[in-house]
Amino acid sequence: QVQLQESGPGLVRPSETLSLTCSVSGGSISADYWSWIRQPPGKGLEWIAYISESGDTNYNPSLRNRVTLSLDTPKNQFSLKLSSVTAADTAVYYCARGSSDFSWFFDYWGQGMLVSVSS
């Protein structure tokens, strides 16, 4: 059973960079698409980006200029950096596995981590 766990600061100051790490257990990140999705309080889901096992990335166009993803295969972790944050970036951030087996879906999710942007 694949398990994912987000970690990082829960509070980030405006204009600074949000940094989160997702640790994966029960499976290898040497396959599939490792993704970040966020959900502002009381709102819907927004896909941020994913990185493949080969390091190829795909970004939401609305966030592309501020997002950087990286993969640490030996540690079985992947990371998100979102620069120049504002209050609009306050959300629960989920990491998830994207699978392209027949369809394309997120089959394993972390529990989510609330990140607040405030001074």
Partner 1 sequence: EIVLTQSPGTLSLSPGERATLSCRASQSVSSTYLVWYQQKPGQAPRLLIYGASNRATGIPDRFSGSGSGTDFTLTISRLEPEDFAVYYCQQYTSSPLFGQGTKLVIK
- Residue 21 in contact with partner 1, rule: CB under 8 A: no
Nearest approach, Cβ of residue 22 and partner 1 (Å):
12
Given 29, 69, 90, 94, the residue binding partner 1 (CB under 8 A)? 94
Given 9, 14, 30, 45, the residue binding partner 1 (CB under 8 A)? 45
Which range touches partner 1 (CB under 8 A), out of 11-19, 40-48, 69-77, 80-88?
Answer: 40-48
Given 44, 74, 88, 118, the residue binding partner 1 (CB under 8 A)? 44
Q: What share of the chain is helix, strand, coil (3-state, %, to 5)?
A: 5, 55, 40
Give the C-alpha separation, 99 to 32, whole Å: 6
Cα–Cα nearest to 104, from 38, 33, 46: 33
Q: Do residues 60 and 36 touch, judged by C-beta distance below 8 A?
A: no
Cα–Cα nearest to 27, from 113, 97, 94: 97
Binding positions for partner 1, rule: CB under 8 A: 35, 44-47, 50, 58, 60, 94, 96, 98, 102-107, 109-112
